Each structure stands twice: as structure tokens, then as C-alpha cells.
Structure 1
Amino acid sequence: MSSIYIDPQVYTGRPASAEGRLEKEIAVYDLLDRLQIPFTRVDHGVAMTIEECQDVDQLLGIEICKNLVLCNAQKTRFYLLLLPGNKPFKTKDLSKQIGSSRLSFAPAEYMEKLLNVTPGSATIMALMNDPDNQVQLIIDEEVSALEDFGCHPCINTSSLRMKTKDVLEKFLPAVHHEAIFVKL
């Protein structure tokens, strides 16, 4: 059972008002609308962990995936990894597949600088804030095989559900990012 507040209402599309919303969250809704990607949304208290998202997942009828911002030891290569929320992350399994050794979690300042998100708010939607493609998207094949996709809109006080196909075929081309698919 989650300890965060969750609005029990599942909304279709963007909030009726931008009041109380961050500019980066509204920018996500603007882009999704422009790309004609339909989505449902649940608003909630700050969710910092996958465990805190479990009740949100139930309302949306999905499992929000883990979004990890990683980097190499020199902090010259950055990655956004999406994997199922219940799947443990083993850096050696990923390092081998992408040819990068010694991966670690990227420091918060790099998350903010490269993706305009803070810890707990990492999301594929943040790739819209990376026009220079400094962050390589990596998706576990289990996530790409799901019919529906769950993520935050660049802030961890709302969660979205949309078609995975729309994310892969409309969103990623629009933000000029390509995914590397891995099996973890």
C-alpha cells in the first residue's frame, strides 16, 4: 500500500488548467497533443520510488517502468535506461550489451543539465529536453513489448498511460532519439 496521496480520478489528457503545474510538465502535454498521442493521467503526491507508484499503477492499469539515468566513470556518456519496475538492475548485464564499462547512476546535476529532471522524475518524456542527443535511450525488450506504457511527465506528481507503439513510433522520432533495445 502506497503512503503517498493519490487522486482516485483517472483523467483523459492534460489538466484543465496549468495552474500549479511546472512549465516542463505542460511542455510534455503540449508535445503529446501536437503529436496526437492520447493518454490518461493520474495525479498524486511525490512518488520517488517504484514502490510508491504501485497504487498509481493499479489505477492506470499498467506497471510504470523504472527510468534510470546512468553514466560511464568519466561522465562523458549518459544513458536513460527503461526496464520493468519489478526487474532488478545489474550494471554488468547492461555494460556488456552496450560496450560500456563501469556504469553508475548519473549525479543529479547531470540529470538536470541534460534532461531537465530531478531524481525520482526521470522519464522518457525528458528526451524532449535533449536536442543535442547527449543521452542515449536504452529500453529493455520487455518494456518495448508491452501494449501500454507508463511514465511521468517530467515531474513525479503525475503519471501517464499511453500506447507503447505511440511512444516508439511518434514520440521518439519527434524528439530525434533512437533506442537501443537490450535484454536484461
Structure 2
Amino acid sequence: MDYYHKEFQSYFNATVHVDPAPFLLPVITHLPVGGEVWDVGCGSGRDLLWLKQKGFKAVGLERSQGLASLAAKYSGCRVIQGDFNTFDFSRLAVDAIFLTGALVHVPHRAFLPLLRNIIAGLKPGGVLFLSLKEGHGVRQDEKGRRFYLWQEDDLVPLLQQNFLKILNSSKDSSLLATGENWLAHVLKKAL
């Protein structure tokens, strides 16, 4: 989206200081110590830094060149500038992939093929963290960003039919105090 290419500094400033512990702690309990983890759509690099500080080998993938540069500098982690829509995840074999709000702009019809491509990068038994905004249909914000909203009853069958076991689910209010709810899932890829 153009917003993240043009307003990368504003987005970085708005998100970098949010503590990711409330939504990431339930994930890391399922990971091997020192495992390799990828933060896809890593944004500011906030989660990368947190994961690195917990002892993980963290790598980011970010479409916006400006955000990728800021994330690498902030986190001290490797950040690949690339688009998750076209990136070949099948060449990876990582312990976990984090999709913290990363797929909120993906149209519903494109969600499943994209998810399948991404989970191809997990080792058997690998863990996926996925968070999406709760709601119905599509919403556009004042910045021109289009958000595709989900209901738990629509999302869970898609996850389960793709050989993902739900380890943990939650519904939480936005940490940015926007009044929105987030659906979060910790998922394990079948062996």
C-alpha cells in the first residue's frame, strides 16, 4: 500500500513503542530456545527486537523500503525488503512465522492462497502467529487504508483445513486504543 511507502516514519513512530509482550508471550512458550523465527510484515521492527531479546534468531520481511530500513536499524536484525504476496516461503524451514496484523489488508478471496504460501515456510510442527481485525466486511480508514475484517466462525475453519492446529486463541482490544478488537491465534503446523 502506498501509505506504508510514503508515511513509513509516521507509522514507525505510532507503533514502535507498543509492548508486544501481551500477544507474543503466548507464542514463544511453544518455540524451541534460540529457534529461527520470521516476522512477516515486520513494520517498525518492534517485535523483531523483542524476539531477539528473548534469544531467538529473528528475521524480518517488510514490503516498504522505508520501514524495512527503520526496522533493521531499530532491531539490529536482518530485514529483507520484499513483498509477502510474491515471496517464495517454501525455501524456508523456520520454527515460527509471525503475522502480527500483517494480513489485515489482504482481500478475503486472496487470504487462503497467501496463507498456504506462508505456512510452506514452517518446519513440520512449526508455529504460526496470526492476528486479524475483528468485524464484518471491509473498512477504510481516514488514511485510505482498506482493512478486511474477520469473524472467528469464518476464520477457524480456514485455519483448520490447512493442517493447522489451534494452540491458543484470544480476542483483545487494540493496544493503540482504537476501539477495535483483534483476533489472535497461535497455530501449529501438522507434522
Q: Shared fold by TM > 0.5?
A: no
Higher strand share: 2
TM-score interval for Structure 1 and Structure 2 normalised by the shorter chain = 0.3 to 0.5
| Structure with more contact order per residue of length (Cα contacts < 8 Å, sep ≥ 6) | 1
